[in-house]
Structure 1
Amino acid sequence: MFSWKKWRLAAIALLAAFSVLIVTGTPASAATAPGEWDHWSNERVNGNQYLYATGTIAEARNGGRLLRVWRANDNTSAIWASFGENGTAFRVDGATSWASPTVVPWGNSGFALFHTGTNGRIYWAIYDDYLNWSGWHTSGATTQLSTPVSVTQLGAGSRELYMAYRSGSDFGMWGSFFNGTDWQNSQNLGGSTYSWPAVTWNPGSHRLYAAHTGTDNHVYLQWQEYGGTWHGWFSVGGDVNGAPSIAASSTGNMQVAGRDWDSFVWYREFNSYAYPLRDWTQDPVFLRAAWPVYLSVAGAVIYSIMTMSSNHQGVYKESFNGSF
């Protein structure tokens, strides 16, 4: 799909992998990332009401639109959504889940929503570019577990997707391409996790990246060229409780986020070839996250979205402006 100078990419990849392996890094507080806010702002719906959720709040921007999805902060397992910064909250029909839902851009201005049903099946639905609703369909994959899935759009304006999820029978991880029409056969990602993997498409290197927290609590990354094979996991250090998040800025620089064992949030940034730009650093505002944070991209900027441990209120901040 893309044409590159293979020998140059191979050399860069080797250098990046070698550098990551020797700079695993023990987390240590340091200067904030470029553009990182020193405060969190409240997520709001229905004009000016605070948003409360059970689990991780996900959001995506596309064509000037914003869509957020989350689990209700009660025992109904219902999924809710809202358009815009302070839009009206509405219950998404036909969807109940014990896991956090997710949303990604679809086409030029639409959205694709995903959730793991209470039966363990993975479901997805589309708001097309005209915001017509498709209804829920199964993806053909099943986790048989109450764990979220991670999905990324494979390039701006694309209707091609990649979904990663944890196995329903063990601690393994799987992924599947959607080619714009059908879901392809699942790929075994290798590795083991007690949580679930995360994926992102990098527009700078034209690589697909996956991240997970290993059974040793370190974060691991791996990559593949579009439609190719995965190149194997390598540690990028950290000491993370639960799943990590990963996102790529339009600049190609990436951010990985995870919670420590006191539920505080930590970040690490990488270039488009997974070369680390700095060590792990703690969020300068010491709020505790009840669940893994979600990283959302708006052009060059990456935002972190957190559901606070204290009261399940949703908050967000700019955590990286994409530059180093």
Structure 2
Amino acid sequence: MKTYRCLNMKFLVVAFLTALVAVAPATQAFAQLPGSIPQHGEAENANGAVYLQDTYSEARNGGHLLGVWRGSTNNTVWMSRDNGTPFQIGGSITYVSPTVVPWGPTAFMVFHTGDGGGIFYTVVNQDGSNWGNWYAIPGNYTNLPVSAAQMGTNSYQVYLVYHGLGNDTRVFGTWFSGQNGNWANGATINGGLTNSGPGVSWNHVTNQLVVTAQGLDNQLWITHQTLGASSWPGWTATGASTVDTPHSVACSNGNLIVSILFSNGNPAYAIFDGWANQQSGWSTDTSIGPVPSAVQLSANGNTVNSLYSVNLHVAGQAPLYQAGWKQIYSCP
């Protein structure tokens, strides 16, 4: 069971990184993701259906769930705590999806890209109170979605990755130094280049940050760094193509589930070990597609869920997208 979900609500419709020296390995024969992916997902619930643009994001912390998304008819950030009535914080204007991560033992940190390229953040507390406004991360800019990861269980440190502003295709990273800390200057991650916003996750078993990127060749590239290390290692090519941000999430045993998006709009998933070595082939999910944007991943105990949006195809109307989720993997 997925905590804080309305499970009985069925869905309405079914470059090579040129600065790098790594060489893509030869295609390997892997078994597909163990088990079958369920045929149908469930509708996200925020005191009713969630209609949105682009991608839905969620995080769990302190026994609570916070979901965030970009409104379907306005370019503002909406949130829902424990599937409750949606709310906003201050004034926000964004043309891409927001994201959320756990912060400390009980709170959440939410991020969005502003209309002028600035990256903004705010905090929602365990009791639902919040900072009441958005704050700019100084010196860091992008016009694409950002991705963030809590740097350790109950940690107040957060690592953030993003695509450079405009035609700057470099992969940047910055981090928040703690509960009363500051944001570091943005720095490139070992020469990585990307066509979309990169993704980042934290592996609690290997104590590593994992960064995934859609290279300039539209191939999935991965790098990872142990917390406290002074530099990032080289990027590894996987041979898999994606048209949007690849995401990753760690299982309870330290394995990673990685998502990509094929050009036909179908998401696919594969298992990697804790050091980003591929362990399975790609399992394609044809039951929810085509989806318009990258599929986010969320771990809940021993299960991994995909978070996505689908077009409801309402006759005679502009596209209307609804958020959904489905369990795609049970960690051993």
Would the aligned equivalents of 1:219 and 1:235 in 2 still touch at CA under 8 Å? yes
The equivalent of 2:67 in structure 1 is 68
Secondary structure of the residue aligned to 1:222 is: strand
Query: d(CA) in 2 for partners of 1:37 and 1:158?
Result: 34
CA 271–34 in structure 1, closer or farther in 2 if over 3 Å, else same:
farther
Question: Is there any run of 5+ residues in structure 1 with no aligned partner, and where?
Answer: 1-19
Would the aligned equivalents of 1:247 and 1:255 in 2 still touch at CA under 8 Å? yes
Please show how residues 169-318 of structure 1 align to structure 2 within 5 Å.
169-180=167-178, 181-189=181-189, 190-228=191-229, 229-283=231-285, 285-310=287-312, 311-318=320-327
Query: d(CA) in 2 for partners of 1:303 and 1:96?
Result: 28
The equivalent of 1:10 in structure 2 is none
Secondary structure of the residue aligned to 1:92 is: coil
Would the aligned equivalents of 1:193 and 1:215 in 2 still touch at CA under 8 Å? yes
Residues 196-248 of structure 1: CA distance to partner in whole angstroms, max 9, x if unpaired?
A: 11001111111111000111111000011113211011111211111111111
AA matched with 2:149: T
- In the TM superposition, residue 33 of structure 1 has moved relative to its aligned partner by 3.7
AA matched with 2:184: Q
CA 144–158 in structure 1, closer or farther in 2 if over 3 Å, else same:
closer
- In the TM superposition, residue 130 of structure 1 has moved relative to its aligned partner by 4.1
Query: d(CA) in 2 for partners of 1:25 and 1:37?
Result: 26
AA matched with 1:50: A
AA matched with 1:156: T
Would the aligned equivalents of 2:140 and 2:185 in 1 still touch at CA under 8 Å? no
CA 202–35 in structure 1, closer or farther in 2 if over 3 Å, else same:
farther
When the two chains are superposed, the root-mean-square deviation of aligned CA atoms in Å is 2.0
Query: d(CA) in 1 for partners of 2:249 and 2:173?
Result: 17
AA matched with 1:240: T
CA 106–275 in structure 1, closer or farther in 2 if over 3 Å, else same:
same
CA 25–101 in structure 1, closer or farther in 2 if over 3 Å, else same:
farther
CA 25–284 in structure 1, closer or farther in 2 if over 3 Å, else same:
farther
AA matched with 2:141: T
Q: Does 1:150 find its partner at 2:147? A: yes
Query: d(CA) in 2 for partners of 1:245 and 1:297?
Result: 12
Query: d(CA) in 2 for partners of 1:90 and 1:131?
Result: 10
CA 35–179 in structure 1, closer or farther in 2 if over 3 Å, else same:
farther
Query: d(CA) in 1 for partners of 2:147 and 2:79?
Result: 17
- In the TM superposition, residue 111 of structure 1 has moved relative to its aligned partner by 0.3
- In the TM superposition, residue 32 of structure 1 has moved relative to its aligned partner by 4.4
Please show how residues 80-95 of structure 1 align to structure 2 within 5 Å.
80-85=78-83, 87-95=84-92
CA 144–184 in structure 1, closer or farther in 2 if over 3 Å, else same:
closer
AA matched with 1:315: G
Question: Is there any run of 5+ residues in structure 2 with no aligned partner, and where?
Answer: 1-22, 313-319
Query: d(CA) in 1 for partners of 2:216 and 2:34?
Result: 28
Would the aligned equivalents of 1:25 and 1:237 in 2 still touch at CA under 8 Å? no
Residues 148-207 of structure 1: CA distance to partner in whole angstroms, max 9, x if unpaired?
A: 100000111111110000111511110012110111222211221111110011111111
Would the aligned equivalents of 1:305 and 1:314 in 2 still touch at CA under 8 Å? yes
Secondary structure of the residue aligned to 2:66 is: strand
CA 235–31 in structure 1, closer or farther in 2 if over 3 Å, else same:
closer
Of Structure 1 and Structure 2, which has the larger fraction of its residues in helix? Answer: 1
Secondary structure of the residue aligned to 1:142 is: strand
CA 23–109 in structure 1, closer or farther in 2 if over 3 Å, else same:
farther
The equivalent of 1:50 in structure 2 is 49
Structure 1 stretch displaced more, 307-316 or 154-163: 307-316
CA 291–121 in structure 1, closer or farther in 2 if over 3 Å, else same:
same
CA 123–21 in structure 1, closer or farther in 2 if over 3 Å, else same:
same
AA matched with 1:218: Q
